[in-house]
């Protein structure tokens, strides 16, 4: 009888403690870093026309990519393309790229423009240019890796970007779906970047 009484008392104590607890509602923000969303990737593409490429002696692919990310509001400490290939704290490796991701080989890096077309933007021998990572030349460079920027929780970054986003030379924010042309370091060369809404 005593054992039943003790067991019943323990059950009642456990039940009353469980019923008396309050459950905290789930947070609307994800704690810690997260990969950027597709819309943020397209914001990186919108920044490309606003970045001025220096002369070939002062700029290389990793500096150009770093400058684009900085001006788009996605800062990271500068690292070479070889270091990016290994992986870093600001990026996470992904299998399927989206617009704005990095495409990286040992010794070269670019920004994915349209994953369906396999196009990317980078600084090559002829200056800033759009190329295709599935061509024989780029395949001969070895296996490309794709990396996505890791950022703070969505709400914080969205508010931050709205006040610091890129603008065209006229001061207007580029619209997705329109083509933007800009002058490269090589005289007379223009690069056209279409900001695709569906990529």
CA atoms of 141 and 105, how far apart (whole Å) = 7
Mean pLDDT score across all residues of the chain: 73
Q: Give residue 28's pLDDT.
A: 55
Buried b (16+ CB within 10 A) or exposed e, 155-188: eebeeebeeeebeeeeeeebebeeebebebbeee
| Out of 79-83, 117-121, 151-155, least confident range | 151-155
Does the structure show a pLDDT above 70 at 72?
yes
* Better-predicted residue by pLDDT, 99 or 183: 99
Which of 51, 41, 13, 15 has the alpha carbon at shortest distance from 183?
Answer: 51
DSSP classification of residue 37: P
Strand partners, 133: none
Q: pLDDT tens for residues 29-57? A: 556 789 999 999 999 999 999 887 654 44
62: pLDDT confidence band, cut at 50, 70 and 90?
Answer: very high
Going from N- to C-terminal start, the domains of the chain cover 30-194
What are the start-end ranges of the E strands in the chain?
A: 34-35, 91-94, 102-105, 108-114, 119-124, 127-132, 145-151, 179-183, 190-194
Pick among 2.30.40.10, 3.30.365.10, 3.30.930.10, 3.90.1720.10: CATH of 30-194: 3.90.1720.10
Rounded distance, CA 19 to CA 89, Å? 43
126-169: pLDDT as tens digits: 889 999 999 999 999 999 999 999 986 544 333 333 334 444 44
């Amino acid at each position: 009888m005593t054992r039943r009484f003790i067991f019943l008392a323990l059950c009642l104590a456990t039940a009353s403690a469980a019923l008396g607890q309050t459950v905290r509602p789930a947070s609307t923000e994800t704690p810690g870093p997260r990969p950027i969303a597709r819309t943020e990737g397209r914001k990186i593409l919108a920044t490309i026309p606003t970045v001025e490429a220096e002369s070939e002696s002062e700029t290389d692919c990793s500096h150009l990519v770093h400058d684009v990310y900085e001006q788009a509001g996605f800062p990271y400490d500068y690292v070479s393309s070889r270091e990016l290939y290994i992986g870093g704290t600001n990026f996470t490796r992904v299998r399927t790229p989206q617009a704005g991701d990095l495409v990286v080989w040992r010794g070269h890096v670019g920004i994915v423009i349209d994953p369906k077309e396999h196009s990317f933007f980078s600084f090559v021998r002829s200056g800033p240019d759009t190329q295709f990572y599935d061509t024989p030349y780029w395949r001969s460079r070895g296996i490309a890796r794709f990396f996505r920027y890791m950022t703070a929780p969505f709400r914080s970054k969205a508010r931050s970007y709205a006040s610091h986003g890129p603008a065209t030379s006229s001061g207007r924010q580029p619209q997705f779906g329109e083509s933007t042309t800009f002058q490269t370091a090589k005289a007379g060369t223009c690069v056209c970047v279409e900001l695709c809404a569906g990529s």
